[in-house]
């Protein structure tokens, strides 16, 4: 192997020649050797690198396909009718095509994160250089996903480039397999889905590590500040600049300009979607106050624009409505696009002088501008906002209907039902219209929280009734009260925190981690998130939030007027509520699980993905909930969790992802693992019962969460705690004792003390177990033994004597 290092050098005799060494074959291994790190069997795995592991997961958790469309129209042989699992002209059947469709979603999501990662990394390297150290808090394991997958232990921004190279190359390979005439087996598309999900977490991690290191964001800080959130917290009497999207790169220039020009009190800067979260993280790591407010999620975009309150809108990338420019134009709001992913057909003004751009936009010569130069953007956006505020005041913008018009519009309704059929949640709009005729608008108010502001009703109505505007107008009082607090994103969980809490998670005495992630496509309003988090926090679960869920959680208050972020502490401990940050911070959730394996259990992490995933699968009671998942990114995040054996529940809309991974608890042979001490087989409880599934309502979800935190490694105390929550939540929300509770009992000490006698009686009477009543001991019945020193593993090679 060469001893040449990466970097640039010149050769004396060759004048003006500079040679750049990029990658060196075997460099990961060499560096690891120098540092005394052992590299596992799969650094930078290719598509087939972890296929055996995937097959293990997929034999227990079978893909369940629920096509959104029975046809395939991928190529001109088609379109082909695949219904009934028929084959299309190219020979692919319905199952494989559905898996292919799912793969396309997953790698689209992964590409969105990776594209974001590459963009912000490039931008930050430009500003801070390749050698800028990664600094994310008091940890040695800085990049758990990256290290487990690639074997690279990144220390500087420059090191992250090689990680992105790997992710991008793999995503290209995966995309290639979607072409007609490539992969034909559903199971191998499934393995590719898991591969894509894993890559996604690496791409996300790179994005967040880079921005946390360079942009002064909280570094594993449990005391990250509280941030104002909600449409009601915007002071519309001031000029309002609204930013929408996910990539904070250019927005920081706007924030600097506002700060440097003392404009903070003179205008409002607020964000929608994850850019908002990252704006509130910017430059707060030294205890500074957040410099922006959060309006909310994608579900607030149209409502916010149509309120007419923004004076200027800046968009970057991801989860931005496609009609922002059209909607804004109607209300004389200039739009600035700042990222090549969204340009809306606007002229590129990146090279122009700020004053010329401001002049053209404020005189409505152009409805907006594309500005890719962030210094120009930094000046134009705030200055234009100040100017537009006056201009728009003078014009007198009328956004929403008046009270009188509300009644007249209600009268126009012919009760045809088209809006309700088109509404994604079939909301009762007709009823609201009927009441509106009599000047009762309370039914519109009822719709407000449940409505995701998609605008489909408006499109459907044959009478051109602006249904969404009516909902918004009728809910003005509610909207004014929409003010809460969100804890700003704290970044990853640090190594010392893992050292403290890891043991409780593995033994089950902290009953589990509930990670509430994803977007705002809820089946029944945003408040459900609050109810779920509060219930699980009261029960001592660690609740971890991120992205849009983190925002929506902050919108509700309890009887004492407190949000959950104010009510619960925010350390990585049982009963604490954590916000890791924006969408890309989701990588810290999987990162936490990897850290438990690496730090608490001392497993080698570098390039050792299978062993780490196996450890997590059998020992860490974590369940992801993406209750309002809508995006392709949510699909890739879930798939990345799944490859690590972390189950995810999505809300009912998630059924439209077309495929779930569900196990069969009644098939006993599926619920066995090896005991690594001697390679013998041992039965395990059917939990998690799924890797990806849906729930119908939060009442169904809550007991599901408790049950699916049960793991083979629970000690008796842990199992008792988890079982207690499962039984109590079933009784509270489903009104019954769950039928399968006894299957999780290994010994009498797994039973809650207060109910032990009663439950022993049930075991004897209903399930025929033998009980020694004198000693209150179970003599026979359980299929599993409680043995804390057992070493459950799905991987034969990890058993003693196997390698």
Quote the tokens at residue 258.
Answer: 């506002």
- Binding other proteins (rule: CB under 8 A), the pick from 1, 4, 21, 68 is 68
Helix H segments across 74-156? 94-128, 144-150
Does 655 sit near other proteins (CB under 8 A)? yes
Does 653 sit near other proteins (CB under 8 A)? yes
Bridge-based pairing state of the strands 368-370 and 335-337:
parallel
CB-CB contact of 603 with 616 (8 Å): no
**Selected range binding ligand SF4 among 71-79, 662-670, 770-778, 789-797, rule: CB under 6 A:** 71-79
Residue 697 interacts with, from ligand SF4, other proteins, none (CB under 5-8 Å by kind): other proteins
- Looking from the CA of 466 toward its CB, the CA atoms found within 13 Å total 16
Does 641 sit near ligand SF4 (CB under 6 A)? no
**Selected range binding ligand SF4 among 212-220, 450-458, 573-581, 600-608, rule: CB under 6 A:** 450-458
Cβ-based nearer residue to ligand SF4, 433 or 798: 433
Residue 461 interacts with, from ligand SF4, other proteins, none (CB under 5-8 Å by kind): ligand SF4
Does 700 sit near other proteins (CB under 8 A)? yes
Q: Report the candidate in 256, 273, 136 with the shortest Cα–Cα distance to residue 207.
A: 136
User: What number of other Cβ atoms are within 10 A of residue 499's Cβ?
Assistant: 13
Cβ-based nearer residue to ligand SF4, 117 or 455: 455
Distance CA 189, CA 201 (A): 19
CB-CB contact of 371 with 249 (8 Å): no
- Least distance from ligand SF4 to the Cβ atom of residue 742, Å: 43
90-119 mask for ligand SF4 (x: CB under 6 A)?
x-x---------------------------
Does 416 sit near ligand SF4 (CB under 6 A)? yes
- Least distance from other proteins to the Cβ atom of residue 372, Å: 36
Cβ-based nearer residue to other proteins, 66 or 558: 66
Does 416 sit near other proteins (CB under 8 A)? no
Residues in Cβ contact with 599 at an 8 Å cutoff, skipping those fewer than 6 apart: 141, 495, 498, 499, 502
Residue 655 interacts with, from ligand SF4, other proteins, none (CB under 5-8 Å by kind): other proteins
- Strand, helix or coil for residue 130: coil
Does 461 sit near ligand SF4 (CB under 6 A)? yes
Distance CA 704, CA 618 (A): 18
Does 419 sit near ligand SF4 (CB under 6 A)? yes
φ/ψ of residue 731, rounded to 5: -65, -40
Does 89 sit near ligand SF4 (CB under 6 A)? yes
Core vs surface per residue 734-768: b (16+ CB within 10 A) or e: eeeebeebbbbbbbbbbbeeeeeeebbeebeeeee
Cβ-based nearer residue to ligand SF4, 453 or 517: 453
Q: Which residue has the tokens 């438990």?
A: 596
Give the number of residues in contact with other proteins, rule: CB under 8 A. 49
Distance CA 609, CA 605 (A): 7
Distance CA 735, CA 726 (A): 12
- Least distance from other proteins to the Cβ atom of residue 69, Å: 5
- Binding ligand SF4 (rule: CB under 6 A), the pick from 64, 75, 372, 435 is 75
- Least distance from ligand SF4 to the Cβ atom of residue 217, Å: 33
Does 525 sit near ligand SF4 (CB under 6 A)? no
Distance CA 193, CA 186 (A): 10
Residue 58 interacts with, from ligand SF4, other proteins, none (CB under 5-8 Å by kind): none
- Binding other proteins (rule: CB under 8 A), the pick from 10, 59, 83, 558 is 83
Cβ-based nearer residue to other proteins, 448 or 658: 658
Distance CA 803, CA 801 (A): 6
Helices 698-707, 527-538: axis angle to 10 degrees equals 30
- Binding other proteins (rule: CB under 8 A), the pick from 4, 19, 421, 788 is 421
Does 430 sit near ligand SF4 (CB under 6 A)? yes
Report which secondary-structure segment, H or E, holds 35.
Answer: helix 27-35
Cβ-based nearer residue to ligand SF4, 452 or 545: 452
User: How far from chain centre, in Å, is Cα 741?
Assistant: 31
604 CB-contact burial (10 Å; exposed 0-12 / middle 13-18 / buried 19+): middle
Helix H segments across 508-656? 527-538, 547-553, 564-567, 587-595, 609-619, 632-643
Does 531 sit near other proteins (CB under 8 A)? no
- Binding other proteins (rule: CB under 8 A), the pick from 470, 583, 704, 759 is 704
Residue 92 interacts with, from other proteins, ligand SF4, none (CB under 5-8 Å by kind): ligand SF4
Q: Which residue has the tokens 């006698």?
A: 757
Does 656 sit near other proteins (CB under 8 A)? yes
- Binding other proteins (rule: CB under 8 A), the pick from 42, 62, 252, 546 is 62
What single-letter DSSP state applies at residue 597? I
Cβ-based nearer residue to ligand SF4, 415 or 439: 415
Does 457 sit near ligand SF4 (CB under 6 A)? yes
Residue 660 interacts with, from ligand SF4, other proteins, none (CB under 5-8 Å by kind): other proteins
φ/ψ of residue 165, rounded to 5: -55, -45
Vertex 251, ends 248 and 253: CA angle to 5°?
Answer: 125
Largest CA distance in the chain: 93
Site for ligand SF4, residues 169 to 188, rule: CB under 6 A: 180
- Binding other proteins (rule: CB under 8 A), the pick from 50, 53, 65, 564 is 65
- Least distance from other proteins to the Cβ atom of residue 416, Å: 11
Quote the tokens at residue 248.
Answer: 């904070």
Does 738 sit near other proteins (CB under 8 A)? yes
Residue 75 interacts with, from other proteins, ligand SF4, none (CB under 5-8 Å by kind): ligand SF4
- Binding ligand SF4 (rule: CB under 6 A), the pick from 132, 456, 567, 756 is 456
Distance CA 308, CA 589 (A): 37
**Selected range binding ligand SF4 among 84-92, 315-323, 384-392, 620-628, rule: CB under 6 A:** 84-92
Helix H segments across 129-143? none
CB-CB contact of 508 with 540 (8 Å): no
Distance CA 377, CA 316 (A): 12
Does 695 sit near other proteins (CB under 8 A)? yes
Does 616 sit near ligand SF4 (CB under 6 A)? no
Does 33 sit near other proteins (CB under 8 A)? no
> Would you say the C-alpha torsion 647, 651, 657, 658 has a positive or negative sign?
positive
- Binding other proteins (rule: CB under 8 A), the pick from 1, 21, 734, 788 is 734
Judged by phi (left if over 0) then psi (alpha if -120 to 50, else beta), residue 95 lies in alpha
Residue 70 interacts with, from ligand SF4, other proteins, none (CB under 5-8 Å by kind): other proteins
- Binding ligand SF4 (rule: CB under 6 A), the pick from 74, 565, 671, 744 is 74
Quote the tokens at residue 383.
Answer: 């200055």
Does 433 sit near ligand SF4 (CB under 6 A)? yes
Does 249 sit near ligand SF4 (CB under 6 A)? no
Does 95 sit near other proteins (CB under 8 A)? yes
- Looking from the CA of 567 toward its CB, the CA atoms found within 13 Å total 20
Core vs surface per residue 682-691: b (16+ CB within 10 A) or e: bbbbbbbbbb
Report which secondary-structure segment, H or E, holds 205.
Answer: helix 186-214
- The site for other proteins (CB under 8 A) is made up of 62, 64-71, 81-85, 94-95, 417, 421-422, 424-426, 523, 652-653, 655-656, 658, 660, 662, 664, 666-667, 689-690, 693-697, 699-700, 704, 733-736, 738-739
- The site for ligand SF4 (CB under 6 A) is made up of 72-75, 77-80, 88-90, 92, 180, 413-419, 423-425, 427, 429-430, 433, 447, 451-457, 460-461, 463, 465, 467-468
């Amino acid at each position: 192997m060469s001893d040449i290092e990466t970097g640039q050098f010149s050769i004396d005799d060759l004048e003006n020649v500079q040679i750049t060494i990029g990658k060196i074959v075997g460099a990961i291994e060499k560096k690891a050797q120098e540092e005394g790190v052992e590299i596992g069997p799969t650094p930078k795995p290719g598509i087939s690198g972890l296929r055996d592991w995937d097959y293990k997961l997929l034999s227990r958790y079978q893909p369940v396909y629920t096509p959104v469309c029975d046809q395939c129209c991928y190529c001109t042989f088609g379109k082909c009718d695949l219904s009934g699992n028929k084959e299309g002209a190219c020979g692919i059947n319905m199952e494989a095509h559905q898996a292919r469709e799912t793969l396309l979603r997953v790698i689209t999501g992964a590409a969105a994160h990776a594209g974001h990662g590459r963009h912000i990394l490039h931008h930050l390297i430009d500003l801070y250089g390749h050698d800028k150290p990664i600094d994310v808090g008091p940890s040695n394991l800085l990049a758990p996903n990256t290290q487990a997958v690639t074997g690279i232990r990144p220390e500087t921004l420059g090191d992250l480039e090689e990680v992105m190279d790997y992710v991008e190359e793999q995503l290209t390979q995966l995309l290639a397999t979607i072409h007609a005439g490539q992969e034909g087996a559903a199971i191998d598309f499934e393995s590719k889905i898991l591969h894509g999900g894993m890559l996604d977490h690496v791409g996300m991690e790179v994005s967040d590590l880079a921005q946390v290191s360079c942009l002064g964001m909280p570094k594993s800080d449990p005391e990250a500040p509280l941030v104002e959130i909600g449409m009601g917290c915007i002071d519309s009497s001031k000029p309002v600049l609204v930013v929408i999207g996910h990539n904070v790169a250019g927005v920081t220039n706007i924030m600097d300009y506002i700060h440097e020009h003392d404009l903070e009190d003179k205008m409002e800067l607020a964000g929608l979607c994850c850019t908002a979260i990252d704006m509130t993280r910017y430059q707060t790591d030294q205890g500074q106050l957040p410099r922006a407010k959060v309006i909310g999620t994608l579900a607030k975009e149209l409502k916010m624009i149509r309120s007419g309150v923004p004076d200027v809108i800046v968009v970057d990338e991801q989860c931005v409505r496609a009609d922002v420019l059209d909607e804004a134009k109607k209300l004389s709001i200039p739009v600035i696009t700042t990222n090549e992913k969204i340009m809306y057909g606007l002229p590129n003004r990146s090279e122009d002088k700020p004053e010329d751009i401001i002049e053209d936009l404020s005189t409505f010569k152009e409805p907006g501008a594309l500005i890719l130069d962030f210094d120009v953007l930094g000046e134009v956006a705030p200055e234009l906002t100040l100017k537009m505020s006056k201009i728009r005041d003078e014009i007198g913008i009328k956004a929403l209907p008046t009270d009188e018009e509300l009644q007249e519009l209600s009268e126009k309704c012919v009760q045809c039902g088209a809006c309700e059929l088109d509404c994604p949640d079939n909301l009762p709009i007709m009823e609201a219209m009927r009441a509106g005729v009599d000047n009762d608008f309370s039914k519109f108010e009822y719709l407000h929280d449940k409505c995701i502001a998609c605008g489909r009703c408006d499109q459907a109505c044959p009478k051109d009734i602006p249904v969404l505007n009516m909902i918004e107008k009728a809910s003005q009082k509610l909207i004014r009260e929409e003010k809460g607090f969100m804890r700003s994103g704290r970044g990853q969980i640090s190594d010392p925190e893992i050292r403290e809490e890891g043991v409780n998670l593995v033994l089950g005495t902290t009953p589990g981690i509930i990670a509430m992630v994803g977007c705002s496509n809820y089946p029944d309003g945003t408040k459900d998130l609050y109810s779920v988090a509060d219930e699980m926090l009261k029960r001592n679960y660690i609740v971890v939030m991120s992205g849009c869920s983190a925002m929506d959680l902050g919108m509700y208050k309890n009887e004492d007027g407190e949000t959950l972020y104010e009510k619960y502490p925010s350390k990585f401990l049982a009963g604490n509520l954590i916000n890791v940050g924006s969408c890309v911070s989701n990588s810290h959730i999987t990162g936490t699980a990897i850290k438990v394996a690496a730090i608490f259990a001392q497993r080698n992490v570098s390039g050792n993905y299978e062993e780490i995933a196996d450890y997590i699968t059998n020992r860490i009671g974590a369940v992801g909930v993406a209750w309002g998942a809508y995006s392709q990114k949510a699909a890739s995040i879930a798939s990345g969790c799944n490859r690590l054996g972390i189950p995810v529940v999505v809300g009912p809309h998630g059924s439209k992802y077309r495929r779930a991974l569900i196990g069969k608890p009644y098939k006993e042979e599926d619920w066995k693992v090896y005991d690594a001490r001697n390679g013998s087989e041992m039965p395990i409880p059917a939990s998690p019962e799924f890797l990806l599934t849906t729930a119908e309502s939060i009442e169904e979800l809550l007991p599901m969460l408790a049950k699916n935190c049960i793991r083979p490694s629970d000690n008796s105390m842990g199992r008792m705690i988890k079982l207690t929550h499962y039984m109590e939540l079933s009784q509270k929300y489903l009104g019954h004792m769950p039928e399968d509770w006894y299957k999780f009992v290994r010994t009498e000490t797994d039973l809650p003390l207060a109910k032990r006698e009663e439950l022993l009686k049930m075991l004897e009477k209903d399930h025929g177990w033998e009980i020694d009543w004198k000693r209150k001991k179970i003599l026979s019945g359980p299929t599993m033994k409680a043995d804390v020193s057992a070493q459950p593993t799905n991987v034969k090679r990890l058993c003693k004597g196997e390698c």
